[in-house]
């Protein structure tokens, strides 16, 4: 931990290229200790590459900074020992039980009193009733919980979670986030990448990356306020036809369906109001001013960025 600044992560100009193509382009990032920091962006935007550089798995081409107060270029081995990294794909042994998987990982870390550490982690993550169940027979939610347990065995100070809830049901996602907030309350810093906007709202701070560039950072409220979006909510019949009309109007930046309604947004409130005046007078539809959501903001940011890096 960086005792002077209270920052768990503090990097500047982080850059990485593969085969001559820049995947991460000069990112500056600061994450406070004990904070849940959401890292968002489309597929191929550079999120995973950035996370791997932060935890010492990749060496940046350029840039500098610290992770847990340790230089990210020169002290990667020390960083790795204090970081738990949970990848997108379940990577434990499916033909071993929960307990056997955790015991194997504890052996790899060379942990003293590994049986006590394994038992404590199993109890902490609520895995006791399934400790002897083969990992391959677990549901997505329980595999996720086991993967988190594996990350927590060595009591890391920083968790890097790369889209950890992809493919699990809503209850498992909610339970997972409750555990993440408990860990943050204990002083563990969490950097999590996600595509889910309801998960983004659970973070203390957010960063949005597209095409390797950092486009915005801040609390969810700050990101919303900074967007400058004006949004109308529309309900009624034949919303598909209405959406087609709206997309061609000046002043309309985006039209997004949300179930049985539309979000119609623009970057100039007066221009949006003028452009939609005639349609708002049509009795087939009910229009009401609405606050933009994070999804509206991130669609706006995606539109402002060039095609994501692959």
Q: Are residues 34 and 167 in the same domain?
A: yes
Whole-number pLDDT of residue 293: 87
Whole-number pLDDT of residue 307: 47
Q: Are residues 211 and 253 in the same domain?
A: no
Whole-number pLDDT of residue 306: 54
Whole-number pLDDT of residue 258: 85
Q: Are residues 17 and 69 in the same domain?
A: yes
Q: Are residues 210 and 240 in the same domain?
A: no
Evaluate whether residue 305 is within a structural domain. no
Evaluate whether residue 24 is within a structural domain. yes
What pTM did the predictor assign?
0.85
Evaluate whether residue 46 is within a structural domain. yes
Integer-rounded Cα Rg, in Å, for the chain is 22
Q: Which two tokens stand for residue 260?
A: 């049985």
Q: Are residues 35 and 168 in the same domain?
A: yes
- Dist CA 54 CA 101 (whole Å): 26
Evaluate whether residue 1 is within a structural domain. no
Q: Which residues, in sequence order, are bridge partners of residue 67?
A: 9, 70
Q: Structural domain tally of the chain?
A: 3
* pLDDT digit string (tens) for the chain, length 310 residues: 444 568 999 999 999 999 989 999 999 999 999 999 999 988 888 888 998 898 888 999 999 999 999 999 999 999 988 999 888 777 788 999 999 999 999 998 888 889 999 999 999 888 999 999 999 999 888 988 899 999 999 889 999 998 888 777 888 888 889 999 999 999 999 999 888 888 899 999 999 998 899 999 999 999 998 888 999 999 998 899 999 999 989 999 999 898 889 999 999 999 999 999 999 999 999 999 998 888 888 888 877 665 444 3
Whole-number pLDDT of residue 44: 84
Task: Classify burial at 278, counting beta carbons within 10 Å of its beta carbon; exposed 0-12, middle 13-18, buried 19 or more.
Answer: exposed
Evaluate whether residue 309 is within a structural domain. no
**Angle 170-172-174 from CA coordinates, rounded to 5°:** 70
Q: Are residues 51 and 178 in the same domain?
A: yes
Whole-number pLDDT of residue 72: 93
Range of the domain at 233: 229-291
Q: Are residues 237 and 267 in the same domain?
A: yes
Whole-number pLDDT of residue 308: 43
Q: Are residues 37 and 69 in the same domain?
A: yes
Buried b (16+ CB within 10 A) or exposed e, 73-103: eeebeebeebbbbbbeebebeeeebbbbbbb
Q: Which two tokens stand for residue 299?
A: 């669609």
Q: Are residues 161 and 136 in the same domain?
A: no
Q: Cα torsion at 4, 217, 152, 99 (round to 10°)?
A: -170
Evaluate whether residue 42 is within a structural domain. yes
Q: Are residues 264 and 280 in the same domain?
A: yes
- Dist CA 76 CA 74 (whole Å): 6
């Amino acid at each position: 931990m960086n005792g002077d600044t209270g920052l768990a992560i503090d990097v500047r100009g982080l850059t990485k290229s593969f085969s001559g193509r820049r995947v991460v382009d000069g990112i500056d990032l600061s994450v406070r200790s004990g904070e849940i920091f959401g890292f968002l962006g489309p597929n191929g935007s550079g999120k995973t590459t950035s996370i791997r550089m932060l935890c010492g798995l990749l060496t940046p081409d350029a840039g500098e900074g610290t992770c847990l107060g340790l230089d990210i270029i020169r002290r990667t081995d020390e960083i790795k020992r204090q970081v738990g990294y949970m990848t997108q794909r379940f990577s434990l042994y499916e033909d071993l039980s929960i307990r056997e998987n955790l015991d194997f990982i504890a052996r790899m870390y060379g942990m003293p009193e590994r049986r006590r550490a394994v038992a404590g982690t199993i109890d902490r993550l609520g895995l006791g009733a399934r400790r002897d169940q083969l990992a391959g027979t677990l549901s997505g939610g329980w595999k996720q919980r086991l993967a988190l347990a594996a990350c927590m065995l060595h009591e890391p100070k920083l968790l890097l979670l790369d889209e950890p809830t992809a493919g699990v049901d809503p209850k498992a996602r909610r339970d997972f986030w409750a555990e993440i907030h408990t860990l943050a309350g204990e002083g563990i810093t969490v950097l999590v990448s996600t595509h889910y906007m309801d998960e983004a709202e659970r973070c203390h701070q957010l960063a949005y990356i597209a095409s390797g560039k950092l486009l915005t950072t801040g609390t969810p409220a700050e990101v919303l306020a900074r967007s400058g979006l004006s949004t109308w909510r529309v309900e009624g019949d034949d919303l598909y036809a209405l959406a087609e009309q709206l997309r061609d109007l000046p002043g309309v930046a985006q039209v997004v369906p949300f179930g049985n309604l539309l979000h119609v947004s623009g970057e100039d409130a007066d221009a949006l109001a003028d452009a939609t005046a005639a349609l708002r007078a049509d009795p087939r539809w009910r229009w009401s001013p609405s606050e933009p959501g994070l999804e509206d903001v991130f669609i706006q940011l995606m539109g402002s960025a060039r095609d994501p890096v692959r």
